[in-house]
């Protein structure tokens, strides 16, 4: 087995999946956003107390870029910024009610689209893939 070649093929597969997801992140008519804005909304839409620092960390961007994203999303009416009760300098980001509905619709649509990618697997193959992905993710998270 040529492990390096196999890893190279896996990486190329990840790139292709990423491109596929990027190309259809959201419909301009439903929620006009850039890819970065969509990713930030995904982080904010998780439903817990999300700060600009969380957006920065999740997206691997600078504090100023995260602040700029939050400002733009707030200006567009997608995000509401609320001061954090424990730290007046920080604020919590939540989706506006209108954006929450649109975001949930888009997330459901995206999940259906992404699920179709895995239709090439039998149930047994998919189960094995899920186990292997969980093992890989766990090793990365350490």
What are 21-74's pLDDT values in tens digits?
766 645 545 667 888 898 899 899 887 889 999 999 999 999 999 999 999 999
| pLDDT recorded at residue 24 | 60
β-pair partners for 84:
87
Question: Per-residue pLDDT for 10 more than 80?
Answer: yes
Contact in structure between 82 and 92 (CB atoms under 8 Å): yes
- In this prediction the pTM is 0.65
Q: Out of 10-14, 15-19, 27-31, 85-89, which region has the weakest mean confidence (pLDDT)?
A: 27-31
Residue 69's pLDDT is: 95
Q: At what angle do helices 63-75 and 52-59 cross, to 10 degrees?
A: 120
Domain 32-104 fold is Arc Repressor Mutant, subunit A (1.10.10)
Please state, as a whole number, how many other Cβ atoms lie within 10 Å of the Cβ of residue 140: 7
């Amino acid at each position: 087995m040529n492990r390096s070649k196999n890893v190279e093929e896996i990486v190329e597969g990840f790139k292709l999946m990423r491109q596929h997801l990027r190309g259809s992140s959201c419909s301009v008519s439903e929620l006009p956003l850039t890819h970065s804005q969509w990713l930030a909304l995904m982080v904010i839409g998780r439903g817990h107390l999300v700060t600009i620092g969380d957006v920065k960390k999740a997206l691997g961007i600078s504090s100023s870029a995260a602040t700029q994203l939050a400002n733009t999303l707030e200006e567009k009416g997608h995000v509401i910024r609320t001061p954090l009760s424990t730290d007046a300098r920080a604020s919590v980001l939540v989706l506006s009610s209108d954006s929450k509905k649109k975001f949930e619709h888009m997330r459901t649509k995206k999940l259906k689209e992404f699920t179709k990618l895995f239709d090439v697997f039998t149930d047994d193959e998919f189960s094995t893939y899920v186990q292997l992905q969980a093992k890989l993710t766990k090793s990365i998270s350490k």
